[in-house]
Structures are given as structure tokens and as C-alpha cells.
Amino acid sequence: MADEIKAVPTVVIPVDPQQPQADIIERAASLLRAGELVVFPTETVYGLGGDALREEAARRIFAAKGRPFTDPLIVHIAQIEELETVAAAVPERARRLAEVFWPGPLTLILPRGRRVPTLVTAGLETVAVRMPSHPVARALIRAAGRPIAAPSANRFKHVSPTTAQHALADLGGRVPLILDGGPTPVGVESTVVDVAAPAPRILRPGGTSLEALREVLPEIEPPLPPQTTASNDPESEEGPAQRSPGQLLVHYSPIVPLLLFEGEDEAQRKALVAEALRRLGRGERVGILAAVEDREALRPCEERGVLVRAPASLEEPEKVAAALFATLRALEEAGVNVILCRSFRPVGLGLAVQDRLRRAAGGRIIQVDPSADAAEGVR
């Protein structure tokens, strides 16, 4: 596990998300050049950035997050020419994807360039690289004059940050500077595609959909479901490194238990109501993350004090993704004892939403029997 970190004062500075002020960007860039850390907005979530070519900076990232060294970092670049600095080779299919989706929420797994410390790549001979589209992120990388390693700006395994306030809540006193560019538009991390493997595969679904990727590279394989393995134990320092961030069974988790319901929509609604009322009867404070279509069915729960949050429609996976982490944090901060969550259709960005919720549940997934009034149980 990463080393401990000394407490430092954290300054939060607002920055224009579309036309970032040059003096603010230079202040942040000077910290990065000195080996310090800076939190900054990307189009996906807020990132915790450090010089990707300095082992000392990478070590500080792991320490600030409490992240194990077996979980690699993503290296961010501002222009395609910088690939030569961080990657030893760029396969033709990687260039095809980059031409279409960069800058944007897509990370490519490539052979590691020798200038990238193995600490950044969790000891692997591959490196995760992406080119963000957020103006603040692009300006910061350019001003720093070097690639930036940047995982999400939160404590390890906690819900990812989509505002500067989320990052401050998790990393206040651990980083000297947070650039506040407002809420991030995509709301879930980048899609990670392994193009260094014999057959390209999505390792982590995210802000670029499987459907869009297959229009460029039809042979891309979908992600495998979360696996329960010894090497997936986030508390263990044993076992192999993760090939990509976001591979652990338990990740993106609120500090309170999250139960995920899966099955037909109407059966899910009945199960959510039954479980909420059962827990209310035990004196628990309950939160529900639902869809707009569920509001009427959940009205009896709201009338009894259940906090119901329905950020978007089932037909709007992009809006669900954009609001997902902020909604989970809002329920957590409201002091609920448990969050009950419906599942969303794995279409478009819904695939990333499904992945994040399954990992947030950490195996507490309830398969709903459509012929029954309640859930079959947790598998």
C-alpha cells in the first residue's frame, strides 16, 4: 500500500472551464513541474495530477489516494505527438481510435515507453494513455510541458469526484491546489481499451460507448463482468497488478452499503418499495437511486421519509452517467444507512453506469424474481 502523506494546506481556485486564465494555469503547472500534485477537472471526473515522468510525483499520487501500487495510473497528454514520449509503439488500430475519439474520454493500453516509471504502470510493460478534451486539462498539460499521470481525485475505492467540492472532501489537506472548473460533463471515467493485447478488449467501460468504438473497430470485445478473485482484493498487496484502473470488485463505493437490484423494471420497483419499507420498519434511514419512470411507484416510500433521487430517465443514459456519482455522494452526505439502487440498461453510457453500480455494490446484487413480490436474495 502507498506511503503516508504529510498534511498540507489546500487552496481551491475557481477557473473558467472554457477559457482558463493563463495565470491560474501557470500557477498549477509550476507545482507540477516541481513534483507536486494538482487536482483539476477533465470532461469525465476530477483528476489528481502529477508529473507522469517522475517517480516521486507518482509516489505522492498513490499516497494521497491511499491507492495500492498494483493499480496503474492513466497518463494524460495534450497532443498526439506526445505519444512518442510515453509509448514504445502505437499499433495501427490504436491510431485509428485516437484519430476518431481523441481528445475525449478514451484511454488506450499501449506498450510502455522507457521514460515512464514502472511505478506509474504498476510494474507492467504497458501504459494507459488518454488525451482529455476539457480545456482546463489540455491547458494544464501544455503549460506543464510534460504528460500528467492522473487517477480520479478521491480516496481509493470511494465515489469518484465530479465537482471540486467532492475532491476537497476526500483530499483536503493532502494536495496543495484544486482547480475548480465546475461540474464535469460526462460524469464517469474514460473507457479503457487494451490495444496492446492480441484481441482488443474494453477493460473498463466509460465515457466512450462500445457501440461508437465498434463503428471504428468492429472486433473490439466487450468488458468482462467484475470477478471475485484473490488478486481483486483491494486490501491485499499480493497478486498481479491490474492491467487497467477500475478492475477491482469493490470500487466507486459510498461509505454506506449499496444494494443493487437487477431484473424487469416493474419487478425492480416492487422490490425497492418492499426493501425500503422493511428497513424503515427497522428504524433505518433509507436512500433510493432510481429513474424518472420509478417516481410514482416510489411515492409511498417518499411519503414515509425515504430519500428518493431520480436524476434522469431510463432512456437517457448520458444524463444518468453525468449525475451518477454526484447523486451517490448526495445520498451519502444526507446520512442514510443504506442506498437501494435500481439497475440501468447497458446501452450506450448505460454500460458504464452498470459497471460502476456493480462495483459500488461490491457483490450486494439482488436478482429480482418477476413472479414474486420481493427479491430472491443477494448473490
In the predicted model, residues of the chain with pLDDT beneath 70 are 1-4, 227-239, 372-379
- Prior bond of 17 cis (ω within 30°): no
- Tell me if 11-231 shares its fold with 258-378: no
Q: Nearest Cα to 314, choosing from 271, 286, 353? A: 353
Domain locations in the chain?
11-231, 258-378
Q: For the domain 11-231, what is the CATH code?
A: 3.90.870.10
| Res 229: pLDDT | 40
Q: Do the beta carbons of residue 156 and residue 65 sit within 8 Å?
A: yes
| Res 234: pLDDT | 42
> 258-378 is classed in which CATH architecture?
3-Layer(aba) Sandwich (3.40)
CA distance 127 to 235: 23
| Res 376: pLDDT | 45
CA distance 170 to 318: 25
| Res 230: pLDDT | 37
* 296 φ, ψ (degrees, to nearest 5): -65, -45
| Res 235: pLDDT | 45
* 114 φ, ψ (degrees, to nearest 5): -70, -20
pLDDT, tens digit, for every residue of 160-187?
999 999 999 999 999 999 999 999 999 9
Signed CA dihedral, 90, 103, 193, 97: sign only:
negative
